[in-house]
Structure 1
């Protein structure tokens, strides 16, 4: 079925023309990406790879997600879309990443690529996007590409090809603004505040920093993340790269779902100790309490938008290559026509990345963390023309600047009986994906 929407462009507004066509099955998406500015959303070998930029929208402040919702609706209304596949991720899509804090200096963005190559359920496609007034998109792939005509008036557009990876590199990450001793002190201060005040949980993070060699190929790190953590969302949007295990929200034709993670323990060194670690996590009152706050915050945020919202009474243990998490899946049906952008606005920040109560936890984070989190712990993912989309929480990630500076983040949920030394060790476990991908 072909979906088409066209409107007259108002002065200053952006209008796009979009066409999706099937491809022979593409099993490797990462080689198609730009080495320095990749756009990626991938899990279990399926997802979206974006090339070039047809449109970039930036947002700041407390209403950044609401502003993005409005701007995206306007872009969609002014665009002409031909999408015979009508699958999640086909047609007009934007990759997005949003800052954690309302006052962050790092802008939140929606990026519409010039070309998207997608794969889902064993089927692949290519989507070509350009401003309506442009006769031809520039070739941003850096490859010797062929060109092909289009049935929808797109004219000559690039056929992207996979390109060889750049030279290998190794990067050492060192403590950033919050050193190990400072993190222990921050955890101790948070525990004291929780015991003395009406605060149940706060999530505190620390940072590692490094510098990438000139012209480093970010695709190398993405391959390491995708292969090492196939059950996670491996993402790259505007220099933010990582592999997140936590689905903030997924919207697909009226169905809404989320995966909540809170409560962590290191994997064992052998089968027996690994099983013992999982059992210990499931029995931990501290971790169960931490997890409960996170689940409650997601249910409370989604309830006004969803009917039949359901979550299991008891969390399950989720096994990742380096650790166990307590996890709960939440599912429901949208009842008010909300888009995925509406829902990330309603959900963010969850107790899994801020704490409970949210306002008090965010205030304490601002007091104890000596850095701007940027997009760490904010929503990252994609949205389609119909508002459906998939969004993770930006965890196990690093922000790479244009000059090669890299900042990685990892945090832990602090409750009344948290131990500073154990929480520090947990951050080291959570840094492992990024440290190994770049090291």
Structure 2
């Protein structure tokens, strides 16, 4: 990756046009400016007039937010070897791109955001036609907020037939609109109807799974269900994102837009984070609601800590993540027992994992080894995913898949896309799942999924 010393946009564009002409292929240029602090929700709202490909990421444990629009470069890959193909494409891009980034802050310069479907072998595309098996996007414009500082990265794909002044004028117009344009009045959606998709059939699938587990066909499987919601008007994306950030402050907030369809969520579950070769992962499995007051909250947390079913489910995740992390890391540290991690509506069993990534491995290597964890697939991994594909009543698409970002400085983070919804015009599909073991009760598991649906459903104007 070439870091340009001269930060003049016109010189960068002219050089890229000349190189595109001589090499007969497009050239990607990237430059970063520190700007006055800009609110990410406002940037996201203004972006809709620039492109119907918007991206958003907010960290769960630090003051770090990214909002992107447009696509300077897209990377897609289909099974098999989709993670390795993306890695190869990214390395090629970094080697050829011209980058001016004097700040070297994480999430600036060449950054790509996106996700992977839960199951690369799922043949049914409905309702996920707008989302390929995997897609990582380098946005045309990326706002990165770290604490009180804002950075704007501009990424351009330059062709030999481009004209320098026209390109520069377009950049200036779009940047001005993104940073200074008017923001629309935003409203949360009003729900007019909702339909549970085959609720009784889903309960029966849980009963069948418990029977199959008792017969030794698998150890655990996670089964998800869908809730379909109808609204009185088109959904305003920035309003939902702002409300999620306000109400789900301990969660990762994400948005990926393709052609007007949005995949959006507020997930508490980190898959893996990498910064300066330090890897952090999370074991999050076992769920119970929050209490109405401190006393009830404490009683429920103790109930969760001492519940055999939830502890067993959590231990499945811990052991699998330990095995995956130890395969590519050293200095692995995993506490011997979980603690309770409270969210606004729920509390979970939580065990942090820290390690140092071995040289030669990347964040995508770790993500590939971890996905899907037993918290989203089951045990054993392959048998549980095969079982889900055969017995589950929906196509997960990107639900429960890895979503996140990484940059050219070897930083990045992926989360598990739960507590999420697919928004299409004036409708939405919401998803929630639960871990099924041999003593699972279908009605209790159904109620657990109802609790997990509440955070997203409440933002979308309803309750369940």
- Using structure 2 for the length normalisation, give the TM-score: 0.85
* Deviation sequence 1:183-242 (CA, Å, 0-9, x none): 211111111111111421110000112345554311111111111101111000132101
Corresponding residue for 1:284?
A: 307
Q: 1:113 to 1:173 in 2, by over 3 A?
A: farther
Equivalences for 1:144-159 in 2 at 5 Å?
146=176, 159=179
The one-character-per-residue Cα deviations of 1:376-401 (angstroms, maximum 9, x if unpaired) are 00011111123421110001001224
Q: CA deviation at 1:12?
A: 8.3
Q: Separation in 1 of the partners of 2:58 and 2:169?
A: 25
Q: 3-state SS of the aligned residue for 1:182?
A: helix
Aligned to 2:460: 438
Matches for 1:355-434 after TM superposition, within 5 Å: 355-401=378-424, 403-434=425-456
Larger helix proportion of the pair: 2
- Shift of the alpha carbon at 1:365? 0.7
Q: Structure 1: state its 5+ residue gaps.
A: 148-157
Which residue does 2:250 correspond to in 1?
231
Whether 1:85 aligns to 2:103 is yes
* 2:74 maps to 1:56: yes
Q: Distance in 1 between matches of 2:90 and 2:382?
A: 28
Would you say 1:273 and 2:293 are equivalent positions?
no
1:339·1:388 contact (CA, 8 Å) conserved in 2?
A: no
Give the stretch that moved more between structures: 186-195 or 9-18.
9-18
**For residues 212 and 68 of structure 1, what CA distance do their matches in structure 2 show?**
36
1:111 paired to 2:131? no
* Cα distance in 1 for residues equivalent to 2:410 and 2:192: 40
Q: CA deviation at 1:165?
A: 3.8
1:41 aligns to what? 57
Partner deviation per Cα, 1:55-103 (whole Å, 9 max, x = no partner): 2222222322221111111111111111111121011101111100012
Once the two structures are TM-superposed, the CA of residue 11 in structure 1 deviates from its matched residue by 7.3
Q: Distance in 2 between matches of 1:50 and 1:291?
A: 35
Structure 1 CA distance, aligned partners of 2:344 and 2:187? 27
3-state SS, counterpart of residue 373 of structure 1: coil
- Residue 132 of structure 1 corresponds to which residue in structure 2? 158
**How far did 1:299 drift?**
1.5
CA 1:13–1:122: 2 relative to 1, 3 Å: same
Match of 1:153 in 2: none
**Is the alpha carbon distance of 1:215 and 1:181 closer, same or farther for their aligned partners in structure 2, counting shifts above 3 Å?**
closer
- In the aligned structure 2, how far is the partner of 1:80 from the partner of 1:122? 28
Aligned partner of 1:338 in structure 2 is: 361
**8 Å contact from structure 1 (residues 202, 355) kept in 2:** yes
The 1-side partners of 2:342 and 2:298 are apart by 10
Q: Distance in 2 between matches of 1:160 and 1:286?
A: 53
Q: Is the 8 A contact 1:96 1:110 kept in 2?
A: yes
Contact 1:32 1:162 in 2 (8 A): no
Q: Secondary structure at the residue paired with 1:367?
A: helix
Secondary structure of 2:414 counterpart: strand
Written as runs of structure 1 = structure 2, the 5 A alignment for 1:162-177 is 163-172=183-192, 174-177=194-197
TM-superposition CA deviations, 1:144-189 (whole Å, max 9, x none): 8638xxxxxxxxxx75646224454213563354x22112111111
**Residue of structure 2 in register with 1:19 after alignment:** 31
Q: Which residue of 1 aligns with 2:241?
A: 222
| 2:211 aligned residue (188, 192, 196) | 192
Q: 2:115 aligns with which of 97, 120, 133?
A: 97
TM-superposed deviation, 1:52: 2.0
What root-mean-square deviation, in Å, do the aligned CA atoms of Structure 1 and Structure 2 show? 2.6
Secondary structure at 2:191 match in 1: coil
Q: Deviations over 1:245-288 (max 9, x none)?
A: 01100011111111121000011112111110000001111111
* C-alpha spacing 1:195/1:71, structure 2 compared with 1 (3 Å): same
Deviation per CA, 1:93-119: give whole Å up to 9, x if none.
011111000123341111111111111
Q: 2:225, 2:58 → 1: CA distance?
A: 26
Distance 1:137 1:349, change over 3 A: farther
Q: Out of 381-390 and 423-432, give the one that drifted further.
A: 381-390
Unaligned runs of 5+ in 2: 6-14, 126-130
**Residues 75 and 193 of structure 1, relative CA distance in 2, 3 Å threshold:** same
